[in-house]
Structures are given as C-alpha cells and as structure tokens.
Amino acid sequence: MSSIGTGYDLSASTFSPDGRVFQVEYAMKAVENSSTAIGIRCKDGVVFGVEKLVLSKLYEEGSNKRLFNVDRHVGMAVAGLLADARSLADIAREEASNFRSNFGYNIPLKHLADRVAMYVHAYTLYSAVRPFGCSFMLGSYSVNDGAQLYMIDPSGVSYGYWGCAIGKAKQAAKTEIEKLQMKEMTCRDVVKEVAKIIYIVHDEVKDKAFELELSWVGEITKGRHEIVPKDIREEAEKYAKESLKEEDESDDDNILPSTLHHFTCAFASFNKAQGFAKRPGPMAARDKVLCGGPLRCL
C-alpha cells in the first residue's frame, strides 16, 4: 500500500487503502507549519502563550491576535490558519451564548469542547467541504469545576490536558512542559514559565521576529479570561531572556573542558596506535589532569 495520497486525497470523505484520510492529515500539516501555542493548567487557573510571528515590519503591533475570548470565563488559543480559527471562535461564542440563554448559567467547558469538536468533525465527513486547518485550546476556571484545559484538532478529537502545545515546535514545547510541577504552581508562576518555553522553542534562524501573547483565566482574574497585564508580561519576558542567557553561558563554560577532554583522549589513542612512548616527568601530571590519567593509560 502506498503512503502517498494519489487518488485518495481529493475528498475528506475518502479513505485510502491503508485506512487514512489524507485531507485531515493535510489539515494537521497546516497546523504544524504554524507558530507555536501553549496552554498550561495549574492549581488556580489556566495560562495561554502564543508565539505570534511577525511576517512583515509593516504590520501594526498587536494585530492578527491568536488569543480569543469565547465567553467571560473561557479563553481560546489557536495554531494554524487564522481565518479558520476565527470562524471556530465565532462558533464557540454562539454555543456559549445559546447555552446561557437556555439554561441561565455559564456553559461547562467540557460541554463546550464537545459541541465544537462535533462541529469540526462534521467537516471531515463530506466531499463538499474541507477540514478546518487549525487546532485550538480552550481554557476556563470556575469555583465548582476549577481549572480546565481542552485541545481540539482538525479531526474533531477533543482531549483534556494539564499542559498542551500545538504548532511547529509542539514536541520541544511538550518536553519543557513535562519538566514543570503544574499541580503545585500558580498562574503567576506559570506565566514566567510559558514565556520561557516560547523563547526556548522559537527558531531564530528560520523564523522572523515574533510577538509574545499571554492570557490567563483563574482566581487571579476572578474567573474571567483576560490578557496578561503589560507589566507582568514584560516581567515574564525579562525572566525568559535572562534564563536563556544563563543557560547559554553555562553551556559555553562546559564546551571548552569537554572539547579539550575529547581531543586529549583522541590524541592519546593515536599515540597508543602509533606505539609512542609514555611521556615522562611533569608532562604525565598534565596528561592526568586533561584526560583523567596519563596519555598512555588508555
């Protein structure tokens, strides 16, 4: 069976012989080519961070946001095609508004995630439409349910998370998220870590400049989803840059001894292969320092 989609990728309603739906996979590829978005759930709320790439210097600062308000208590972070994400944000807002009109209270996040996921999944069933080219995270906080975080991908699958990443650097971001003790951290702590992770996974060679977008919902905002205040965001960015600088300096300090060690050991192996005699006197002491022993000790 061929792994390419020739003849089987013309419609989202067609399966390939090996059971794949290529249109959905192509939609996921669009997400993987997008900037990175992170969501982390902690003991008192949820924090979102987005690496919003600035594709042109002519763009107005703050335009083309990738963080949305869905309801007073629900926030949304997206990766992938921005137009598709805006459309789904409107669908989520409509679902939340209808639920409040019918039942008189805020929609539970799990119910909202399931409803929007069903809508996304419907666009993978018919040949007349295409799947949505975006993934998104929904986060909320309430006194009864606490902090909640869900992610929905282009196939319409919805999962609950403590920490989640979507976009081109999702694997690297997930690795960094797994190092955190999220259940013991507060939103103020997580904001700094989210900023640090975004700076770590940003590819300065391939990608252009970016703007860091941060939002949160939790006890600190009294249950409302809000953009992180400018002073706190700047403090988080400063912490991220200083942390990266310290790590770079630490790596630089370790490079020379490590390189010298490998070079000296390689030189010792060469001497041994050539049958050179052991160096006498003071040189042996130097060899012991550089290579953990005399050159001829190998």
User: What global pTM score does this model have?
Assistant: 0.81
Asked if residue 94 belongs to a domain, the reply is yes
Asked if residue 277 belongs to a domain, the reply is yes
Asked if residue 1 belongs to a domain, the reply is no
Are 174 and 263 in a shared domain?
no
pLDDT, position 56: 83
Are 135 and 275 in a shared domain?
no
101-110 own/partner pairs: CB under 8 Å, 24+ apart = 106/71, 106/72, 106/73, 106/142, 107/71, 107/74, 108/145, 109/74, 109/138, 109/139, 109/140, 109/145, 109/148, 109/150, 110/148, 110/150, 110/160
Asked if residue 267 belongs to a domain, the reply is yes
Are 135 and 28 in a shared domain?
yes
Residues of the chain with pLDDT under 70: 1-5, 251-298
pLDDT, position 252: 58
The domain in which residue 285 lies consists of 254-297
Are 39 and 121 in a shared domain?
yes
Specify the amino acid at residue 128.
A
Query: Nearest to residue 137, comparing CAs of 109, 98, 118?
Result: 109
Are 168 and 57 in a shared domain?
yes
pLDDT, position 247: 80
φ, ψ at 51 (rounded to 5°): -90, 95
> Residue 261 to residues 216, 256, 296: CA-CA distances in angstroms?
47, 8, 15
What is the percent of the chain where pLDDT is above 70? 82
The first and second tokens of residue 220, run together, are: 């600190």
pLDDT, position 289: 47
Are 205 and 292 in a shared domain?
no
Domain count, the chain: 2
Asked if residue 196 belongs to a domain, the reply is yes
CATH number of residue 217's parent domain: 3.60.20.10
pLDDT, position 59: 86
Residue partners of 151: CB distance under 8 A and separation at least 6? 39, 135, 136, 137, 138, 158, 159, 161, 164, 166
Are 85 and 213 in a shared domain?
yes
Are 127 and 272 in a shared domain?
no
pLDDT, position 260: 53
